[in-house]
């Protein structure tokens, strides 16, 4: 199969297989931005309808293996796209055998080792965080995913590198932690531009796997003052659970909220 046909096939496969993901992201975006503007009359601050956060939970080994497998499959898919030299004949089984098990210092510029790899590591960390992994587990999953990529995918073109093995998960996690905090602050600001930037730096919050968004619907009637809280449970359940709680704390908080 010649090179242009192979590239076309890859793109066709890509755009053919992900409309579901795009549709989910679009619906999440629509939902995220449709909420009305609510104002606290005392402070004049916006009152966001959704609260964004992370619900850390335990994952079974099967779930871990499945998630590692999905990310690993994605690396097989995306690597030839971001490294088109693979289509040009670079690499191959012979190169794979030659590079297998080797760790070297790569000669790449800081743009790659200090910028691109940490950014990709940070997004991987945020992806696992969105799926309910606590910070350390998200780092460990990022480490495994990154090492699998280095030792079994990238070696088609070059040996695994010490910088990538270390900096992708470690600097990625450090950067990811910063992005996580910044995005949560922006998303919970209730400000539209803040939400756009919040989703932009942490796009995993738009994916269907994200479990940390909570919808808070204030109930202002005197008879049942309080709030209805709706959140997404574990991805395995794939549905929303409703909880009606009438807590005096919420009642006090929302009783004074004015809606426009």
Partner 1 sequence: MPEVSPAQSSVENNFNIKAGLGISRVYLRSSLIPTSHKREDESENSGYGFNTSFGYKWNTFEVLIGSDVLFGKLKDMTFLVNSAEIRGDGSFRIFSVSPILRYYTPYTIYSRWNFFVGAGPTWSLHTFIIDNNLNGTDFNNKKRINFENRGASINIGFEEVVPYKEMHPTYIELGYSYMRSKQVFIVDASDLQDAKTLSRGNSKDFYGHYIALRFGITLF
Under the rule (CB under 8 A), what is the footprint of partner 1? 85, 105, 107-111, 113-114, 135-136, 139-140, 162-163, 166-167, 170-171, 173-174, 177
Give residue 140's Cα distance to chain centre: 15
Cβ proximity to partner 1, 50 vs 128, nearer residue:
128
Taking the C-alpha atoms of residue 202 and residue 246, their distance in angstroms, rounded to an integer, is: 32
Q: How far is the CB of 202 from partner 1 (least distance, A)?
A: 17
Task: Determine the Cα–Cα distance for residues 56 and 91; give it in Å rounded to an integer.
Answer: 40
Nearer to partner 1 by C-beta: 129 or 195? 129
Tokens of 216: 């808070």
Shortest distance, position 239 Cβ to partner 1, whole Å: 31
Please state the closest distance from residue 208 (CB atom) to partner 1, in A: 26
Rg (CA), the chain: 22
Per-residue b/e over 6-17, b at no fewer than 16 CB within 10 Å?
eeeebeeeeeee
Cβ nearer to partner 1, comparing 165 with 187 = 165
Cβ at position 140, least distance to partner 1 in Å = 8
CB atoms within 10 A of CB 218: 18
Q: Which is nearer to partner 1, 49 or 179 (CB)?
A: 179
């Amino acid at each position: 199969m010649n090179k242009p046909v192979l590239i076309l096939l890859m793109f066709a496969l890509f755009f053919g297989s992900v409309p579901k993901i795009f549709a989910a992201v679009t619906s999440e975006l629509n939902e995220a931005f449709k909420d009305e503007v609510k104002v606290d009359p005392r402070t004049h601050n916006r009152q966001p309808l959704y609260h964004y956060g992370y619900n850390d939970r335990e994952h079974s080994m099967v779930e871990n293996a499945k998630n590692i497998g999905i990310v690993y499959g994605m690396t097989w898919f995306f690597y030839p796209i971001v490294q088109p030299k693979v289509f040009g004949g670079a690499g191959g089984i012979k190169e794979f055998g030659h590079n297998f098990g080797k760790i070297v210092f790569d000669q790449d510029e800081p743009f790659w080792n200090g910028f691109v790899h940490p950014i990709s590591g940070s997004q991987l960390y945020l992806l696992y965080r969105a799926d309910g992994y606590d910070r350390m587990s998200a780092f460990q999953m990022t480490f495994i995913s990154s090492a699998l990529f280095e030792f079994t995918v990238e070696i088609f073109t070059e040996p695994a590198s010490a910088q990538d093995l270390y900096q992708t998960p470690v600097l990625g996690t450090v950067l990811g932690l910063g992005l996580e905090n910044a995005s949560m602050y922006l998303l919970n600001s209730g400000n539209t531009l803040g939400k756009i930037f919040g989703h932009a730096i942490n796009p995993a919050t738009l994916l269907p796997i994200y479990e940390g968004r909570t919808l808070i619907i204030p109930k202002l009637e005197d008879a049942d003052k309080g709030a209805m809280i709706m959140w997404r449970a574990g991805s395995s359940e794939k549905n929303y659970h409703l909880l009606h709680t009438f807590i005096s704390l919420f009642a006090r908080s929302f009783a004074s909220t004015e809606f426009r």
